Amino acid sequence: MLELRPNCEWCNKSLPPDATDARICSYECTYCAECVETVLFNVCATCGGGLVPRPIRPRYAHREHPKLGLAVHPASTKRVHSKWRDQDVSEISLKLRDIPPAKR
């Protein structure tokens, strides 16, 4: 199940569970759309993969079984910050940004 991290790991912008500008990689690294477009150039700073819109978890359980939704499975409250330096991010994004994520 996705963690739904509460912030952009680069700029620390809050990204609540219903944020439409949250982006994730396949390892759940989480960034805001602005950082993905202007800093990372759609290259995850950690794995080098592409970033896609994060799914929005329903607020409530809409079925009796299974009980799902934020009320049952809340989003994470642990803020995560990137360990990478500006230079590290520039190097990996420059190396990979012109290669489609499916071919990296």
* Per-residue model confidence as pLDDT tens digits over 38-53: 999 999 999 999 999 9
Per-residue b or e along 58-85, where b marks 16 or more CB atoms closer than 10 Å to that residue's CB: eeeeeeeeeeeebeeeebeeeebebebe
Percent of the chain with pLDDT over 90: 99
pTM of full prediction above 0.95 = no
Instruction: Tell me whether residue 45 is exposed, middle or buried, using C-beta atoms within 10 angstroms of its C-beta: 0 to 12, 13 to 18, 19 or more.
Output: buried
The reported pLDDT for the residue numbered 65 is 92
Termini Cα distance of the chain: 25
d(CA 65, CA 24): 28
Percent of the chain exceeding pLDDT 70 equals 100
What pLDDT shows up at residue 18? Answer: 98
Confidence grade of residue 59 (pLDDT, cut at 50, 70, 90):
very high
Query: What pairs with residue 24 in β-bridges?
Result: 30, 52
